[in-house]
Structure 1
Amino acid sequence: MNAFCSLVDNTVNTGYESYFRYHLEAEIQSQKLENESYSLFGHDITTLTHDTSETTCSFLVPGLRENSPYVEGDDIIQLRELIYDHAGRLLGMELWMTQPILFNRSQLQPQGFPAPGGRWRGEPAPGWTGIIYNARVLAVRRKESRLVVKIDGSPDMRYSFSRPDGLKFNVQFPVPSNRYLPMKHVLPIIQEALRHAYITRYQLTNGVPNQSQASSSNPSSGSGGPLNLGGPPNTPWLQSMLFPVEADCDVQTMLNRGSFKQAFFDQQLNWEQMKAIGSICSHNYGTLPFLVSGPPGTGKTKTLVEVALQLVKSVDGVSHVLFCAPSDPAADMIVQRISSHFNSTELLRLNRPSRTFAEVPGAVLPFCCIAQDKFDLPKFEQLMSCKLVITTCRDASLLLHSRVTNADLFAAEYGLRTVINPYAAPPSQVDLHWTALIIDEAAQAMEPEALIPLSIVAPPSGPVKLAFKPLFIMAGDEHQLGPRTSLPSSPLKTSLFARLFARPVYADHPLARGKTGERAPQVLNKSMLPIARPAFANLIRNYRSHPAILAVPSSLFYFDTLEPEADDTDRLTSWSEWRGRKWPVLLHISDSEDDMDLNNGGWYNVGEAQLACAYAARLVQSGLVAQKEVCIMSPFKAQVACLRRTIREARFGSLWDVDIGPTEAFQGLERGVVIICTTRSKPRFVESDQKANWGLIGMPNAMNVALTRAKFGLIVIGRREILLLDPDWRAFLDFCDRNGLVAGEADRLVQDRENIELTRLEKVLLAQEQDSTLSNSRALKVVSQEDEMWTGGMQAALDAESANGYEESDLEGNDQEEHDDKEQDGGEGKQVPLSQRFLQSNLF
C-alpha cells in the first residue's frame, strides 16, 4: 500500500493520467482473456418474445451467480447460430478437420461443399450461419444463473429465430467498452487540474515552501514532533482531495464540547455517528476528504444518509449535494432510506438510459426522470433545482458529458456575464452549484471510478475566491474486499478510500484506530493540543453479530475496538452441537481432500461439502433457525457448485432456501448462520492461490468478509495444517482451541491463558460467565465498567479533568441531559453517566 501511495505521489505532476490509463488497459486485456474462458459452445437459447422489430431470449450461464463471467445490464453478448446436419453434427466440420494428406485429390468435391482440410489452411471453422448477433443484456438473474437479452430485428435474424426446432448457439462475452470509457474520459480532466495545481502549489515565486517539505511525519505535537499546519495560500482543492497532507488540516486548540448542539433527523444514531456528522457539518477540519471508517455492521450508510440530510437542510452554504455509490443496488438503497424527506422535485435518482425499469425498485421510480420510455436527464432547470442527486460513480459521467460540472457552470455563468458587461468588476466570491460529494461503500470503487463524481464537484481552476469550498466525504472499510479486478495484482484493487487512509495525515494521526498500539479508542487530552483536527471518524458499534463471532475479527482487523450492540444474538445458544463454552462459534477440523474439477476448472472438496450441508440440515431441523437465515460459502466456484449439488440430495431434506454462493457475493449482506468451507487441503497450492487471489488462506480481507456476515452462528470447516499457514487463521484457530470450540478431532489440551493474549471481547465473555448478573444481559453494553480498556482511561481522564482545560460551560448541564444512545434498530435509550460522557466527548 505504501509503495503504491508513493508511486502515485511521484506521478502526480505529469503521469497520473498515464499511470491509471496503463493499468486500465492492462485490466481490459486481462478481462478479455478471462471472458474467453467463459465462452459457451452449442448452447441452448430460449426465445421469449419475437416480432419484426426485436427478439427477446434467455439462456443459462454457468457461473453467473459467482460473477464468472461478470455481466451487467446493457452489456453486449455475442451469439453465433450453429448449423447441424441430419446426424446432429456441425455441418462441414468433419471435412474441415480432415488432414489434406489423407484426402484423395482425384475425387471431386460436390458443389456447394467446402474443400477438405480447411483447418490446416487456416480457414474459419464451418458449422454456423456466418452472422454474429449482438444481444444487449436486459436482465441479469444471478440467482437463476440466467441472462435475458434483446436482439434488434433483421431479416436473417427473424428467419433464424422463428424456426420451430431447437436452436444452438456459441455464446461469447466481450468486455463492454462502456464499462471503462467514463474512467478513461475523466483521466485527462483530472490530470490537467493536477498540472495546474502543481504550478499553483509548488512553483510559487513568493518563496512559499511546498507541502511535502512542510509536512511532518506525525501530525501531533503531543508525540514530540513539531506541528506544522501552516499550508501555502490558495491550496488547490483537487490536489488536497487526492493527495492530502498535514498542511491541509485545520488546527484544533481546544478540547471538544461535551454535548451535541444540532438536532438530528435520525433519533437512533449512536455517539460515534453523531460525532462524525457533527465534524462534517461544521467543516472545521480543513480542506481534505473526510473519511468514515465503518467496520461490518456499524451503520456506514445510516451515517451518510444523516450527513446528506444535514448538509441539504441545515448547513449554510451547502446548496446541492451529489451522493454516489459504486453499484446500482447500493444507490437504490440510499434513495429508499432518504426519500421520505424529499419530494420528487428535490431528489433525483439519476440512471443511465440503458437501465431497465425492472431493475429499479418501485419506491425509487418516482424519483427518476423518464422520457420516451427510458431513463433520461431532466431538463436543465429541473436538474438545477434538485437539491440531492443520487447515482452510481460511473453514471455520474452523464453529468460530466452534459457539461453541468462546477467548472462548466462557472464558465457559462461568469463567461456570459463578462461578454454582456466586459467592464464589470469580477465577483468578490463565487457560489458553486455542487457543494458536497458523498460516496458510500467507497472502498469498493476503483480510484478512476471515484474520479468521475469528483470531477463534477471540483471547483474551477485559477484564482477564484469561493464562498464555500465543496466537501468530499467517503465511507467504507478498507479491511473488506476492495474493487473487483481480473488482474489479481492490479493497483486498481486499491481504492481511493484505502489509498487515502494509508496516507500519513490519516494513518499517523494520534487518534487513528490503534495508532498508539493500545487496543482501545483514543482519548484526546490537553497535553496533545494543538493538534491537526482529525478528518476521519472511526465507527465502533456493531449491530449485527454475537460477541464471540466478533472477537477475532475485531482483534485482527480493528485493533479490538468493536463493541457488539446487536439484538437477538443468543437465539442458538441452546443448540446441542456447540462445543466447549457453548459460544455460537464452531471450528470443524476436516481431513477430507480437495480435488480439481476437470471440466470447469477450480477446486472442490466433497467431504467439506457434505459436512456443511449436514450442519445446515441439523440447524433447520432444530427449529431454531429458518432455511433462509442459513448460508454456506466457499471462495472456490467448483466448491460452490459441489455444495449446490450436495444440498439437493434427499438425505438433507428440501433445503431449497439455504443460500449458497462464493464469499465475495456476500459482501454487504448478513445471515443468521454462516457456514464457511475453506476447501483447500493441499499446502503446496496455497502460495499459487494467493498469487491468483483465490481462497481464504493468506487473504485477510476475504477472511474478514467471511467471518463477519454471521449474526448468531458461525461454523468454519477446514484442515488444521492449512489454517496454521496463515497467521490470521492461526489466531482464529487458537481462539477456538482455548475455548473448546472445536469439533472433528480428539479433544486438545486447553492452552495456558497466562501466556496467551486474549481478545478483549473474549475477556468480557469470560467475565460474563463468572458474573451471574451479566450472564442474563441481552447484549454487551457499549461501555462496561468491567471492561479494562475503559476503566483505566476513564480514571485517568477524570483525574486530569482540571488539567484538560474543560470550561465549565462545556460541561454545564450535561448531567441533566440524556444522551440519545439508542440501539440502531430501536432499542431502549441508555443514559450515559457524566464520567463516561466526558470520556466520549474526547474520543475519536
Structure 2
Amino acid sequence: MLDKNYFHFLKQLIALEEDEENEEIREEFTKLSPQERELRGKALLGLVLEEKHFSPANHELATFGRQHQKPLPLFSLETGDVVSLLPESLNDVVFPIGTVYEKTSATITVAFNKGLPPWLVKGSFYQLHKSVNRVTYKRMAEALDAVFETRNTRLADFRDISLKEKSPSFEKNSNDKIAWFDESLNASQKEAVRKSLEARDIFLVHGPPGTGKTTALVEIIRQSIRKKLSVFVTAPSNTACDNVLERLVKTGLNVIRLGHPARIALPLREHTLDFKLALHPLSHQIHDCQSNLNRLFKREDRYREKRSPGPDAKRQVRSQIEELKDEIRRLRKEIFSCVMKEAEVIVGTPTSIQDKSMREKPFDVLVIDEATQATEPVTWIPMTRAKKVIMAGDHFQLPPTVRSKEAEEKGLGITLFERFYEILDPDFRQILERQYRMNEQIMGFSSMEFYNNLLVADESVKSQTLSGLQGVTACADTIEPFVYIDTSGKGFEEKLEAGSESRYSPEEAVLVLGELKKMLEAGVPPKEIAVISPYSAQVRFLATQAAACLPAGRDPGIEIDSVDGFQGREKELVIVSLVRSNMEGEMGFLADTRRMNVAMTRARRKLIVIGDSATLSSIKFYADFIKYAERIGGYKSVWEL
C-alpha cells in the first residue's frame, strides 16, 4: 500500500535518472573523440558561420554550414535538440547553450536565448555538441514536492486517488444530450467523450493503434470549450503536441502553442505564443522602445567614460532608461493579456505549464495525450494546475525511456496512466475498439495478445492491400497483407556494433533490401514505405546500404528508423528487421513485447517481419506470433525465396 512518502521515493528515482544522463555525457566526452561523437549523431564538427539573423519572434539566430556547402551527415543533430557551441580555436570561453531551430541538408540554425557570443565570427570553425536540458528535472522535483505537501486542493484529490485513499466520481444529473461536432465518431469514441465530460476528477481513454484516439480527444476538447471551460492540452514530446495542435487548428479553434519555436514543426510555428506576441499590433511600440533604450545605453556609457556632463544629466538618462524599461514591461503584459484572452485552448509539453508567463494560471480541464510515454514525475507537473484530468494512451505500446537501470528496476518506467488503470473502477476508463489503420490480418495478432480480441477492423480498411494503391501491380507480393520470413538455419548471426551495445545483422539487411527492391519494382511509392528495426545499429547499417544500392539514390523517400522512433507513425508498407539470431536464444530488449506491438501495428496494407524463429521462439509471445503467421498463411522460410 502506497502512502505520501512514495513521492519522496519518486524524487530519488529522478535523481538517479539525472545522474545517469550526466554520466552518459561525461563518458561520451571522455571515451569518444569529437569525430566519433559526430558519427553517433551527437555532434557536428568543422562548421562555419554563414549568417547571424533574428527569428520573427526576435530570437537571435546563427546559421552554420560546411565549407563549400557540403551536406551535413545523414544522422545528426535534430530540430529541438539542446546544444553547446564550441569554437575549435579558442580555449577558456563559456560555451553558450542554444536550441536547434531549423535544419536543411546543408545548414543548421541555432537559437540562443542569451544572445550570440562576441567571439562568433565568420572565418572561424565551430562545433555543436548535444547537451543536457536540466529544466525538466528541476520541475519534476518541484511538482513532486507540491504533491507531497498540498492539502485541501484538487491536487490533493488527485494524489489521494492515486494512493487509493479516495475514489473519483462522476457529475450527478449530467445526462445532457451531446450535440456532436464530429458526427462520424463511433460508439466507443462517443462513450469515451461522454464519460470524460461527466467525470469530476480523472478519466482514462485507452487508445490501441489506429483507433482514433486523437479524434476522440479533439471532440472532448471542443465540447469542454463549448462549456466555457479553460483547457490545457499536453503530451510528453513536441511531436505529439504538434500532432494534437494540427488537428485542433483544422477545427478553426484559436490555439496557442507554448514552447520554444525551434522545437515546433515549421508549418505550426505561427501558432506559438512567441509568434503571436510578435505579430500583435502593439509589438512595434516595443521595438521602438528597445531602439531608444539602446541609444540611451550608449549615451550612458559615453557619460561614464568622459565623466561629463554633470550628475543631473546622468540621472536624467538613468531615469529615462528606467521609464522605458517600465513601458516595455507594461506593453508586454498588455500584449500577453490580449493574446491569452483570445486563446480558446493552450497546447504545450508538461514542463511548459511552468513557464514564467503561465505561472499560477489554473485550468478547468487538463488533457494528457500519449500519457503512457511520460514518467509519473513528468505527468504530475501539469496536474499541479488542473481541476480535472483526462489521460489518453496505450500501456501496451512502448513505455517512457528510462536511462538509469536502477531507476527502471525500482519502477520509474511505470506510468501514472498504468497505476490509475489498475486502481480505478473500470467505469473510469474506456477502450476504443474500432481501428481505422490496418488490414485485419495485420491487426489480428496484436488484438489477440494485447487487447482481449476487442479490436475490430473498420470496413474501410479490413481487406485493403498494396494492390489497391494506384500504380501498384497486382501480384502475390502486393495481394498478401502479412508475411513473416523465417531466417532460421541460414547462419544470419547478429553482430555487436563496435563502440556500442547495439546489434546488427548484415545478412538480414541484405534480405530486407531484397524485399524492398521487389516492392519498389511492383510500383509501391517509396514515400509509403518504412523499414524499421529495434536496433539502432541495424538502422544505421540499413541506411548506409540502401543509399549505396537502391536505384533512387541516397534519399528515395523511404523511411529507415528505429521502432522506438517510429511509434505513432504509419505507412502503407512496413518491413521489420528483428536482428536477434544467436545460439543462446538471447533476446535483449525484444523481451519487452510492447516494442513488437508497436512494430507490427505501423503498417496499413502490408507487414513484412523478418527474423530467426530458432532465437525468437525462446519467448512464448514470439512462438505464438510465428504460429499466427502459419495459421493465416503468412509464414515463409528464407529457404523458399
Q: Tell me, yes or no, whether TM beats 0.5.
A: yes
Structure 1 residue 162 and structure 2 residue 123: aligned?
A: yes
> Structure 1 residues 76, 674: closer, same or farther in 2, change over 3 A?
same
* Pair 1:572-2:447 in alignment: no
Identical-pair percentage:
23
Given that 2:34 and 2:45 are in contact with CA atoms closer than 8 Å, whether structure 1 keeps it comes out as no
**2:403 is equivalent to residue 486 of structure 1:** yes
Query: Which residue in the other structure is 2:570 paired with?
Result: 670
- Superposition pairs of residues 166-565 of structure 1, within 5 angstroms: 167=125, 169=127, 172-193=129-150, 196=151, 237-244=157-164, 247-249=167-169, 261-283=177-199, 287-313=200-226, 315=227, 318-339=228-249, 341=251, 347-353=254-260, 355=262, 359=266, 361=268, 364=271, 369-371=276-278, 379-380=336-337, 382-383=339-340, 386-398=343-355, 402-406=358-362, 434-457=363-386, 470-488=387-405, 490=408, 491-503=411-423, 505-506=424-425, 509=426, 534-565=427-458
Partner Cα separation in structure 2 for residue 659 and residue 35 of structure 1: 28
Cα distance in structure 1, aligned partners of 2:248 and 2:118: 48
Q: Is the 8 A contact 2:47 2:126 kept in 1?
A: no
Letter of the structure 1 residue corresponding to residue 540 of structure 2: A
Structure 2 match to 1:588: 485
Contact persistence 1:244–1:288 (CA under 8 A): no
Q: Distance in 2 between matches of 1:45 and 1:148?
A: 15
CA contact (8 A) 2:181 2:219 kept: yes
The Cα offsets for residues 257-314 of structure 1, whole Å up to 9 and x where unpaired, read as: 9xx932100121111111111222233xxx441000000000111101101111111x
When residues 684 and 173 of structure 1 are mapped into structure 2, their CA distance, relative to the original with a 3 A threshold, is: farther
- Please report how far the alpha carbon of residue 340 of structure 1 lies from its aligned counterpart in structure 2 after TM superposition: 5.1
Report the alpha carbon displacement of residue 148 of structure 1 after superposing the two structures with TM: 3.5
TM-score (norm 1): 0.60
Contact kept in structure 1, 2:101 and 2:111, CA below 8 Å:
no
Cα deviation, residue 332, structure 1: 2.8
Aligned partner of 1:129 in structure 2 is: 91
> C-alpha deviations, 1:491-531, integer Å up to 9, x for none?
3322211221122x24xx4xxxxxxxxxxxxxxxxxxxxxx
- Given the alignment of the two structures, is residue 635 of structure 1 paired with residue 534 of structure 2, yes or no? yes
Q: Contact conserved, 2:373 with 2:398, CA < 8 A, in 1?
A: yes
How many aligned positions are there? 553
Where does residue 530 of structure 1 map in the other structure? none
Give the aligned partner of residue 8 of structure 2.
18
Alpha-carbon distance between aligned partners in 1 of 2:609 and 2:107, rounded to the nearest angstrom: 30
Aligned partners of 1:495 and 1:403: how far apart in 2?
A: 25
Residue identity in the other structure for 1:57: F
Q: Secondary structure at the match of 2:364?
A: strand
Q: In the alignment, does 2:620 pair up with 1:620? A: no
CA contact (8 A) 1:683 1:722 kept: yes
Question: SS where residue 369 of structure 1 aligns?
Answer: helix
State whether residues 530 and 571 of structure 2, in contact with CA within 8 Å, keep that contact through their aligned partners in structure 1.
yes
Q: Tell me how far 1:179 sits from its aligned partner.
A: 3.2
Q: What is aligned with 1:752?
A: none
| d(CA) in 2 for partners of 1:453, 1:235 | 10
The reply on whether 1:75 has 2:32 as its aligned counterpart is no
**Could you tell me which residue of structure 1 aligns to residue 470 of structure 2?**
none
Structure with greater helix share of residues: 2
Corresponding position: 1:728 with 2:621: yes
Q: Specify the alignment match of 2:612 in structure 1.
A: 719
Q: Deviations over 1:701-733 (max 9, x none)?
A: 111000000101011111011110122111110
Question: 1:659 — aligned with what?
Answer: 559
Local SS of the residue matching 2:88: strand
Larger Rg: 1
What displacement does 1:700 show?
Answer: 1.1
**CA distance in structure 2 between the partners assigned to 1:24 and 1:58 by the alignment:** 37
Q: Assess if the C-alpha contact under 8 Å between 1:324 and 1:391 holds in 2.
A: yes
The CA RMSD measured in Å over matched residues stands at: 3.6
- Taking structure 1 as reference, are residues 51 and 536 closer, same or farther at Cα in structure 2, changes over 3 Å only? closer
SS at match of 2:268: coil
Amino acid at match of 1:47: V
Instruction: Kindly indicate whether the alpha-carbon contact (under 8 Å) linking 2:100 and 2:110 is maintained by their aligned counterparts in 1.
Output: yes
Deviates more, 1:71-80 or 1:592-601: 71-80
CA apart distance, 1:742: 1.8
Letter in 1 for 2:522: S
Separation of aligned partners in 2, 1:20 and 1:705: 28
Residue 342 to residue 243, structure 1, CA distance change in 2 (3 Å): farther
**Runs of 5+ in structure 1 lacking a partner?**
1-5, 83-127, 201-233, 407-433, 458-469, 510-533, 691-696, 748-844
CA 1:337–1:130 in 2, change beyond 3 Å: closer, same or farther?
A: same
Q: Which residue of 2 aligns with 1:831?
A: none
Distance verdict in 2 for CA 1:586–1:403, change over 3 Å: closer
Contact in 1 for aligned 2:64/2:107 (Cα 8 Å): no
Distance 1:136 1:261, change over 3 A: same
| Amino acid paired to 1:584 | P
CA shift in 2, pair 1:561/1:58, >3 Å: farther
Answering whether residue 100 of structure 2 is matched by residue 138 of structure 1, we say yes
Distance 1:356 1:538 in 2: 31
Instruction: Find the residue that maps to 1:379 and give its secondary structure.
Output: helix
How far apart, CA to CA, are the structure 1 residues paired with 2:391 and 2:237? 15
Q: Would the alpha carbon gap of residues 683 and 369 (structure 1) be closer, same or farther in structure 2, given more than 3 Å must change?
A: farther
The change in CA–CA distance for 1:29 and 1:247 in structure 2 (over 3 A counts) is closer
The change in CA–CA distance for 1:32 and 1:593 in structure 2 (over 3 A counts) is same
Query: How far off its partner does 1:242 sit?
Result: 3.1
Aligned AA (1:46): L
Unaligned runs of 5+ in 2: 36-43, 54-59, 288-331, 468-472
CA–CA distance in structure 1, aligned partners of residues 259 and 630 of structure 2: 52
2:321 matched residue in structure 1: none
Specify whether residues 290 and 353 from structure 1 end up closer, same or farther in structure 2 by C-alpha distance, changes over 3 A only.
same
Contact 2:202 2:388 in 1 (8 A): yes
Match of 1:49 in 2: 50
State whether residues 64 and 146 of structure 1, in contact with CA within 8 Å, keep that contact through their aligned partners in structure 2.
no
User: Distance between the aligned counterparts of 2:533 and 2:155, measured in 1?
Assistant: 48
CA contact (8 A) 1:617 1:653 kept: no
Distance 2:355 2:582 in 1: 49
CA shift at 1:621, angstroms?
A: 0.7
Contact 2:155 2:384 in 1 (8 A): no
Supply the distance in 1 between the matched residues of 2:403 and 2:105 (Cα, whole angstroms): 24
Whether the aligned pair in 2 keeps the contact of 1:243 and 1:500 (CA below 8 Å) is no
